[in-house]
């Protein structure tokens, strides 16, 4: 799965915006002003960092060699996923959705409600 395909998928989620706050080489996906995905096209292979429940983060790291603790992030709450073809696309999309859901759950109630009312 490519970063472009992931970005297209994520853009369909309510309230998602794509920005480049760290410069032109790194895209971030945000919801409610909070980052839920960091896309790294310059890494080889391409990689995406995603927020994750701490217990699930450990489980995913044990299940997939391509999932490592978040690079330059809180390693308890973030995973970096190398897009090397070893993880099924459906699982990657699940990870993206989980990250989105983790961030949405932490948003103020009014912001969460505005996301559901915009569907």
Note down the domain range covering 31: 3-112
Q: How many domains in the chain?
A: 1
Give 4-55 as a 3 state SS string.
HHHHHHHHCCCCEEEECCCCCCCEEEEECCEEEEEEECCCCCCEEEEECCHH
Q: For the whole prediction, is pTM greater than 0.85?
A: yes
As a whole number of angstroms, the distance between CA 16 and CA 117 comes to 14
Q: Is residue 40 one of the residues assigned to a domain?
A: yes
Q: Is residue 119 one of the residues assigned to a domain?
A: no
The pLDDT tens digits for 40-85 are 888 889 999 999 999 999 999 999 999 999 988 899 999 999 999 9
The enclosing domain of 76 has a CATH number of: 3.90.1150.30
- Note the pLDDT of residue 72: 85
Q: Is residue 79 one of the residues assigned to a domain?
A: yes
Q: Is residue 117 one of the residues assigned to a domain?
A: no
Q: Is 98 helix (H, G, I), strand (E, B) or coil?
A: helix
């Amino acid at each position: 799965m490519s970063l472009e395909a992931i970005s297209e998928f994520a853009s369909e989620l309510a309230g998602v915006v794509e920005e480049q706050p760290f410069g032109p080489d790194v895209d971030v996906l945000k919801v409610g002003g909070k980052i839920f995905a960091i896309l790294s096209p310059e890494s080889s292979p391409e990689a995406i960092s995603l927020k994750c429940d701490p217990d699930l983060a450990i489980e995913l790291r044990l299940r997939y060699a391509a999932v490592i603790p978040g690079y330059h992030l809180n390693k308890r709450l973030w995973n970096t996923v190398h897009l090397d073809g070893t993880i099924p696309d459906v699982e990657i999309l699940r990870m993206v959705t989980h990250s989105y859901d983790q961030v949405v759950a932490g948003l103020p109630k009014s912001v969460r409600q505005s996301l559901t009312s915009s569907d």
